[in-house]
Every structure is written in C-alpha cells, then in structure tokens.
C-alpha cells in the first residue's frame, strides 16, 4: 500500500493510473476509521482497479467553536486498517498544502445544503463541497463511495458533481451500526458512558416512527414526526436539533409519507456532541 502526502505526487500518480487505463475509486474520509468507513472500501474494490482512501480533517467544514482541534486522529492505526482492507493508496495531505495561507476559492452548493444540518452549521457544506472538488481534481476518481449516514451530504455532493460536470459515479453505502443500533461515527468517541447509552434513542425514535407508518399505515408527516419526537424527548441526555421527514432524493420536506421515497432524518446534541442519523420509510 502506497501512502502519499504530497498533493503534486497524488495528482501525477492519478494521471499515470488514468494513462494506464486504470479506473480509480475514492473513499474520502476525515480518518479515525471505523467499520462504516471500511465498508465503503469494499464497495469500490470490484468496480475500480485502484482504490484510494483519503484522510484529511478538513478545517473548512468546521464552524467557529466546533470540534476541529479535538477531532479524533490516529493515522498509524488508520494505515493499519487500510492495509488489512487492501486499499491501494492512502492520500493524507497536509493542511498547509490543501489550504495555503493565501487560499481563497470555495465551491458552494446553494440549495440542498441550506436546510437541515445547514441551518445549525451554515458553512459546513461549503467546506465539504470545496474539499471534495479539490480531492476529485487530485485523485481523478471514476467512482466515489459515500455513506448514507450523511444523507444530506450525499445529495449535496451528487448535485455538485452534476452541476460541475465531474465525470464521477457516486456509490452510496448503507449505514453501519453498533450492535445496539447507534450509527458508527468518529464522534461517538466523545460520548461519556451515560450519553453513549442515551444515544441509542436516536435509532429507537426513528424505528417508532417507521412502525407507525408500516404497521398502522400512517402517512401524516406531523404524526410520524411527533412520534419520533416523543421518544427522543423521553431521554434526559438528548437535546433535539431537528426531526424531519424528507424526500431522500432531494432532502426537501415531505407533505405526505411515501414508502420507498421518504426518509426520517434526525440531529441531536448529547451535551456538546452533535449526532445525526436517518432511516428510510
Ligand atoms: P467522515 O470521516 O465522518 O467524514 O466520513 C467519511 C465517509 O464515511 C462519509 O461518506 C460518511 O458518510 C461515511 N460514513 C461515516 N460513518 C458511516 C457509517 N456508520 N456507515 C456508513 N458510512 C459511514
């Protein structure tokens, strides 16, 4: 497995791979890898000749006062996991190369990223689209694997790829969960034992909403949302940010629940740790 930190070297290697007619798959991550990240590698192995995993804690997607400095990092362990999972190349650039001090260009999707997480984190998706545009130019992937865990991010990035004509196919991987149902996330690391236990309520609340739809045939969005809310608010450690039922293809709020299309999305704080999750209806 090759490990590259120089952006120039990455770009010329990607150019070489392409000249040799090899297809490239990219898994963009911020590192501190868990099974959720690793499952995305598996999705690309059959599709691409070269699998690249990038590790970069992207400063531009963190707002002021967010957890950039304390975001968990363990490059050596990440490299071990990538080696075991047969990644061909790990790209781990330096912040100073990705964003030199005179850096001044941003890519911004202006619609889908405004609502939901965009309300609590107004500059977040601009950072995500900017870093992904840069990673796409450096790694030149044919395929990019993204996790359904970040449902809004998937839709924002698909839109950016379409709008800016990147010749890239997006492959979306299902949410990988802990045995008790909590969606895996590098940020779960921050949870104290009491919060960790309380975090289960996210999936439980969405399952209660889904049950109402599947077993009672309810299609009224407000009824399903209030069922989800009532489970979430039973927990004393959870502070709800949002509960919505959206169209999974556009992230626009639904008027009526539509099986196969609607998605329950939730975001909540457990103390200062903000978690998101979603469940299809
Ligand atoms: P991150 O390192 O948090 O930026 O995540 C990198 C990629 O891994 C994103 O496409 C995420 O959606 C995906 N990912 C994170 N957690 C999970 C999970 N539990 N299951 C599936 N994919 C995930």
pLDDT digits (tens, 9 = 90+) for 213-256: 999 999 999 999 999 999 999 999 999 999 999 999 999 999 99
pLDDT, position 42: 97
Residue with tokens 């601009």: 126
Q: Is the CB of 183 under 6 A from ligand 1?
A: yes
Q: What is the pLDDT of residues 125-145, one digit of tens each?
A: 999 999 999 999 999 999 999
- What was the pLDDT predicted at 221? 98
Which residues have a Cβ under 8 Å from the Cβ of 105 and sit 6 or more positions away? 130
Cα 217 to ligand 1 centre (Å): 32
In the chain, the largest separation of any two C-alpha atoms, in whole Å, equals 58
What's the CATH number of domain 186-280, 1.20.120.330, 3.30.1300.10, 2.60.40.1260, 3.40.350.10?
3.30.1300.10
Q: Is 37 a catalytic residue?
A: yes
CB contact set of 31 (below 8 Å; sequence gap of 6+): 55, 56, 57, 73, 74, 75, 78, 92, 186
Summarised one tens digit per residue, pLDDT across range 39-84 is 999 999 999 999 999 999 999 999 999 999 999 999 999 999 999 9
Taking the C-alpha atoms of residue 137 and residue 98, their distance in angstroms, rounded to an integer, is 12
Q: Check if 175 has its Cβ closer than 6 Å to any atom of ligand 1.
A: yes
Name the residue of 36, 154, 157, 170 whose CB sits within 8 Å of the most ligand 1 atoms, as the mutation to test its pocket: 36
Cα of 138 from ligand 1 centre, angstroms:
20
What are phi and psi for residue 62, nearest 5 degrees? Answer: -100, 135
Average pLDDT over residues 143-171: 98
**What separation in Å is there between the alpha carbon of 279 and the centre of ligand 1?**
15
CATH topology agreement for domains 2-173 and 186-280: no
Domain spans of the chain, in order of start: 2-173, 186-280
Q: What pLDDT does 70 receive?
A: 96
Q: Which of 51, 150, 154, 161 to mutate to test the pocket of ligand 1 (most atoms within 8 A of CB)?
A: 150
CATH for the stretch 2-173: 3.40.50.620
Mean pLDDT score across all residues of the chain = 98
* pLDDT value at residue 88: 98
Average pLDDT over residues 257-274: 96
């Amino acid at each position: 497995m090759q490990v590259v930190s120089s952006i120039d070297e990455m770009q010329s290697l990607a150019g070489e791979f392409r000249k040799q007619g090899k297809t490239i798959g990219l898994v963009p991550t911020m590192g501190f890898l868990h099974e959720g990240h690793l499952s995305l590698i598996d999705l690309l192995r059959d599709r691409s000749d070269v699998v690249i995993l990038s590790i970069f804690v992207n400063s531009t997607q963190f707002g002021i006062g967010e957890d950039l400095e304390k975001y968990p990092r363990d490059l050596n362990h990440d490299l071990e996991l990538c080696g075991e999972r047969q990644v061909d190349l790990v790209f781990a650039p330096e912040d100073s190369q990705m964003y030199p001090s005179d850096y001044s260009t941003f890519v911004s999707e202006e619609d889908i990223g405004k609502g939901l997480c965009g309300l609590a984190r107004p500059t977040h998706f601009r950072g995500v689209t900017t870093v992904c545009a840069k990673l796409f130019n450096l790694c030149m992937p044919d395929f990019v694997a993204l996790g359904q865990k970040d449902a809004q991010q998937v839709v924002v990035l698909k839109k950016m790829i379409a709008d800016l004509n990147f010749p890239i196919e997006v492959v979306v991987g299902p949410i990988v969960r802990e045995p008790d149902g909590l969606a895996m996330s590098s940020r779960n690391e921050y949870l104290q034992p009491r919060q960790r236990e309380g975090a289960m309520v996210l999936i439980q609340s969405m399952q209660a909403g889904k049950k109402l739809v599947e077993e009672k045939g309810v299609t009224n969005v407000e009824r399903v949302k209030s069922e989800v809310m009532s489970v979430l608010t039973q927990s004393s450690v959870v502070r709800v940010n949002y509960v919505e039922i959206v169209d999974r293809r556009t992230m626009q709020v639904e008027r009526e629940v539509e099986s196969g299309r609607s998605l329950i999305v939730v975001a909540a704080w457990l103390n200062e740790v903000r978690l998101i999750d979603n469940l299809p209806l």
